[in-house]
Amino acid sequence: MAMLSHRERLENARHALLHVHRALLEAERIRYERQQGRVENSGALLQLLMHDPWFAWLRPISEIIVQIDEWLEAKPGSASPDLAEILLAQVRDRLRPDEAGAPFQQRYYRLVQEEPAVAVAHAESRNLASS
């Protein structure tokens, strides 16, 4: 099997992150609405995601996605392979739920255990991110 390029690996990692982010966001939206009331629309949800402390723990995923997008949008030949490897390592770290890990990993671990959609997204994403 041919070795994937940095671009292909980062595109796969980006897709994996988006898949997990979508599942986590939906699980958190449901939990938020149980306590705070209905979120009216996607614009209101975006505002909560960007500014509400409830969703702050998801921002590290958003930040890595933005960094990957910037790498992918760089002119061919100017995107650093070293930065690509750093980003791929960060993706692997983020997609590693850990009951005793960093706060993000602990929350992610809990949702993988409690939310079937998150568990499925996690399993599918591990395959994508490792390619």
pLDDT in tens, 75-105: 877 888 899 999 999 999 888 999 999 889 9
CA–CA dist 112, 23 (Å, integer): 10
CA–CA dist 76, 86 (Å, integer): 18
Single-letter residue type at 72? L
pLDDT above 60 for 131: no
Q: 130 is written with which tokens?
A: 């490792």
Residues 6+ apart with CB under 8 A from 3: none
Q: 43 is written with which tokens?
A: 């614009």
Single-letter residue type at 86? I
Q: Where are the alpha helices (DSSP H) in 1-131?
A: 6-36, 42-51, 59-73, 81-94, 103-114, 116-130
- Let me know: does 130 contact 4? Beta carbons within 8 Å: no
Region 46-59: what's the mean pLDDT? Answer: 94
When divided into structural domains, the chain yields a total of: 1
pLDDT above 90 for 32: yes
- The boundaries of the domain holding residue 88 are 6-130
Say if 1 falls within a structural domain.
Answer: no
Say if 41 falls within a structural domain.
Answer: yes
- Let me know: does 32 contact 54? Beta carbons within 8 Å: yes
State the pTM of this model: 0.87
Say if 59 falls within a structural domain.
Answer: yes
